[in-house]
Amino acid sequence: MTAALTGARPALPAPWPAALAPDCLEVIDLPTPYLVTDLDTVVDRLAGFTAALPGVRPFYAMKCNPAPEILATLRDHGAGFEVASLGELRMLERLGVDPAAVLYSNPVKPPAHIAAAHAAGLWRFSFDSANELRKIAANAPGSAVYLRLLVDDTASSFPLSRKFGAEAAEAHDLLTLARRLGLRPYGITFHVGSQCATAGAWRHAIGTAGSIMAGLLAEGIRLELLDLGGGFPARYLADVPSIAEIGAMVLPALAELLPYRPGLIAAEPGRYLVAEAAVMAVAVIGREVRAGEHWLFVEVGAYNGMMETIQVPTGWDYPLWSSVPGHGEVATLPFTVTGPSCDSSDTMFSGVALPAGIDVGDVVYIGSAGAYTLSYASAFNGFAPPTPLFVGGRAGGADARDLTQELVRAGSRGGR
């Protein structure tokens, strides 16, 4: 028996916050495109992280979405913050976050950023080379430093090891050099790559860090920080390890593979906390057939909000829905979905099933769109990024079906 006959609403692809279901979004009396974030989902994700990893303090990697509403929500619910630039630190200062509580985990920083962050009270800096240590010693003398370690990140969608990370064999000499330069050898960090697909990557990296920590004891160096970095995956369409599965791998590793437990075990979740909390709404602006292939042109492309769709050779599969009546029940066609710009590489999806009758003026809803969308977005070719909107939490806690006035307020301030 079909959903239409039973009266049930077709199931949305998982994950999709109930507050952002398409029939709830239809009440928004604002023009597309927009990106609407449910702050209550952000709070729930933070709670899930801390429940799965007790004793691990989350420092939000704000580069993936630095919206003040999100930062304030995480601040109010006990999260710490990790920055990659002085500009990000200044955003936190405007929200009343003490720089002394912030981690600066970019391994290569402009000297002026180091000096200004140090002057503001930030005292913990990441590094991955002797050159960076000397830069920190000159611009933030006496600071605590933690080594970015090169680890296996081949199971991630976005490996980072080509650009950052010291080899394990270099770690001992670098941390002892830090002490000779008058810095405080403080800890080790690593990153298993963004959107890591295997929980075992963290266990392997913890084991490597533990070996380094043990070797440093002979030098009288006892580290105070182990930072598990980021990489905690969000759900799009493909299955990924749950945060509970990652926790079940990490917690025993911390107990079994470290020679002692540092005073601070940290992590830098970003995508995990915010991706699934937001939905992007974009209108169809054109429908064409090219060489027998069905194309949809929509008002947001890779350059103004959907950059990750063209960063991975295999593409990036977001959950999609539409405003077409009966979506989930009606006949579909495979579509190539492309952006509004005159750049032919601005094409986001290929072969995605959407209602066969979708046409100009209909809306495509893109789920799990809260991470690395607006933070990457530009106004390339004159097409503006989506308007950021917020519901729940600091947006006023309005019911999903009575959001219009709150959303108008969010839209009028640009959500920033």
Q: What are the catalytic residues?
A: 342
Distances (CA, A) of 406 to 29, 226, 245, 277, 282: 11, 41, 37, 17, 20
Q: Would you say 281 and 36 are in contact if contact means Cβ atoms under 8 Å apart?
A: yes
Vertex 336 angle, CA 4 and 334, to 5°:
40
HSE toward the beta carbon, residue 394, CA cutoff 13 A: 19
In three state form, how does the secondary structure of 103-130 look?
A: EECCCCCCHHHHHHHHHHCCCEEEECCH
Q: Would you say 73 and 37 are in contact if contact means Cβ atoms under 8 Å apart?
A: no
Q: Would you say 208 and 167 are in contact if contact means Cβ atoms under 8 Å apart?
A: no
Query: Rounded to an integer, what distance in angstroms lies between the CA atom of residue 393 and that of residue 398?
Result: 9
Q: Would you say 96 and 68 are in contact if contact means Cβ atoms under 8 Å apart?
A: no
Residue 350 corresponds to which amino acid? S
Q: Would you say 365 and 322 are in contact if contact means Cβ atoms under 8 Å apart?
A: yes
Radius of gyration of the chain (CA): 23
